[in-house]
Structure 1
């Protein structure tokens, strides 16, 4: 490992931990999505660290379209290289899920408390810990004195926890950020190269209400929906036999997550509605799964003429699977940096979750997921934490990645 980088990052240890603590101490729960304070802090902090900084205010008409109660903001910061090299983007989100019941936390969720070699608080890993490592990797490379030619771009974006439409989706779609590679929030124990597509369906069963004492006069919408749920269970069993070839992705999952029906126990229910979430592997498409569900429901209605079922696609979080090839130069670059720092390499996997990587890929910027922390860090749960040793080690790896990726002069600038 480059001695200068190791010394610089080690010397920055307290500064790295302090930055994470300060961000944890600024609540940015989503919903509702309060970004004013965290964006003001980042603007001032990043300017002091040597970045060129721009706060992107999403137009009010865009927030109104999505019925959002508060303004949406994103921060784009650039550590300028000498010119003529490849540009590297680090992306992490500034929103967190709500803290929940404060009494369930050992340490207050917005304290940034340190105990047992860990920093505790909401966002400690997801994703203010990742953002800390990304920022400090750029700072460390600059402090090391090692020349680099491409720019290192930090995109701190809003709303990832609710889909990212006005966060990474907005800054990429508007062409506000460009680069040759993006590293998006991820884990330090593997590299993620593929993420599942998301299809969500709202399925409604319409019956005919009647008094329970005269059930035969009605059509029970809940009982009709029970047939649909049973068939969705059967579909899940079929999909288990159609596994992905991408390590870690298993198979397309079917989850009936919400059910509502009926008005009173002594009334034959006239309506029943379910919401179903599908995590779709790269070998299948959203249309494939939708068509299988539609065909299944058509068959049920032919078998039972009293069934009246409508299927609606929910567009809010619908996205196609995203894949970076296993032999991608992006993965080779990151593995090389990991090898240089830790003398090992990491598994390359896929996940059934989703992240903001998809927004960059859709706009022509190839990406992978990697960052400090693991899925054992109580993400979205009580006592979320970041191990300080992991945070420092991953910052070293990211600094080496930036050195290698941005350190080669690709062309001569005028």
Structure 2
């Protein structure tokens, strides 16, 4: 347990925010750990220019000059099925530092918890996978066991996309994302969008002579809330664990350029949930229609319609295509875990699209991810690691 805690704290202390030098640097650290453990290591620089130009590239929301892929391989003795553990090393920014009780990257250990940005999402799960592979060195299953450490999961999936483009495959995959030790065989999708609202600027002292873009955004925002409600009334049984499995939220709003002027433009960016078995094209059409209807009902917006742009990470929904993997993972837990579909996008959709049956299972509560004072229970990391080792011993035998 001490070794688990030390490794997890060490990784949390690396501020591997997406797009930073530390996102690349942590891959080198992990490659060294793998080599010390006797794994075969493939560490390579991702060909970003080539990847981003491919038609199926899943999008990227932060600039990267350099990024690395990393796979550690425990070779099997021959004849068994292979299994991949896929974990992302990038974390989201800590946000408002005053909301944290401590340094966001402290890796502080308190009781059964390791605190810090990324502890839950998902360095705890990554450590569970690494220590599972270490445990498997004694048993040496017949099939290969892989640990893929990927970058850019939080903003599109460039790491896993690059992993697949390099040719890495497995017969099955587990992503140890924070699921609270529930088994998650499906993900909703998520699209990133941008709205541009046009107003007419003038001096604020004579505001009635202008048209506020902020005011004209309000009916559009109301229409989006109505759209969200409609899309969450009748959902797939896997998604009924959530009150709003296909959430639609405006994350940023920027308007105007001077405090005493009527704002002539507003730009809003948001995140839009895509339902299981829905195509991104269908989801986009629904949002664009809702925006168009709101514009048609307003004389100004009818003449100056809001534009919709689709940019950044584009997460399609996905299901594990092989129920046998889900059943095997459930059996490996040794209990009767909860099963549900995740309301967020993940790299599951890229792996499943490549023909690799994939399920999520890992330590930590998703509610703690991206939040101040993020933490992961050490006991859950240990339990997840034991489950992954048991699954690999059976699957790869």
* TM surpasses 0.5: yes
Aligned with residue 384 of structure 2, among 394, 400, 405:
394
Matched, 1:279 2:270: no
Query: Residue in 2 aligned with 1:82?
Result: 77
User: 2:9 aligned with 1:21, yes or no?
Assistant: yes
Measured after TM superposition, the shift of residue 331 of structure 1 is 0.6
Tell me, in whole angstroms, the C-alpha distance in 1 between the residues paired with 2:199 and 2:36.
64
After TM superposition, give the deviation of residue 92 of structure 1 in Å. 0.5
Larger Rg: 1
Contact 2:236–2:276 (8 Å) recurs in 1: yes
Which one is further off, 59-68 or 258-267?
Answer: 59-68
Q: Say which of 367, 371, 376 aligns to 1:381.
A: 371
Shift of 1:230: 2.1
Distance 1:280 1:192 in 2: 17
Distance (Å, rounded) in 1 between the aligned partners of 2:209 and 2:120: 56
Query: Which residue of structure 2 aligns with residue 412 of structure 1?
Result: none
Pair 1:333–1:285, CA change in 2 (3 A) = same
Aligned to 2:235: 243
Contact 1:244 1:283 in 2 (8 A): no
Residues 96 and 161 of structure 1 are in contact (CA less than 8 Å); yes or no, is this contact kept in structure 2? yes
Matches within 5 A, 1:195-234: 195-212=187-204, 217-234=209-226
* 1:13-412 to 2 correspondences below 5 Å: 13-59=1-47, 61=49, 68-100=63-95, 105-106=100-101, 108-143=103-138, 146-165=139-158, 167-172=159-164, 174-186=165-177, 187-212=179-204, 217-247=209-239, 248-249=241-242, 250-264=244-258, 266-307=260-301, 308-324=304-320, 328-339=323-334, 344-375=335-366, 378-407=368-397
* In structure 2, distance between residues paired with 1:111 and 1:219: 48
Q: Following the alignment from structure 1 to structure 2, what is the Cα–Cα distance between the partners of residues 300 and 357? A: 35
Contact persistence 1:92–1:131 (CA under 8 A): yes
Instruction: Give the 3 Å change call, closer, same or farther, for CA 292–103 of structure 1 in structure 2.
Output: closer
TM-score scaled to structure 1, two decimals?
A: 0.84
User: Deviation string for 1:200-233 (max 9, x for gaps)?
Assistant: 3222222333345655654443333222222222
Q: 1:273, CA displacement in angstroms?
A: 2.5
Residue 274 of structure 1: SS of its match in structure 2?
strand
Deviating more after overlay: 94-103 vs 46-55: 94-103
CA contact (8 A) 1:203 1:309 kept: no
Unaligned segments of structure 2, at least 5 residues: 54-59
The gaps in structure 1 that reach 5 residues or longer are 1-12, 408-414
Corresponding residue pairs, total: 385
Displacement of 1:316 = 1.3
Check conservation: 2:211, 2:262, Cα contact below 8 A: yes
CA contact (8 A) 1:63 1:71 kept: no
Distance 1:252 1:100, change over 3 A: closer
Contact 2:238 2:339 in 1 (8 A): no
CA positional deviation for 1:399 = 0.8
TM-score by length of 2: 0.87
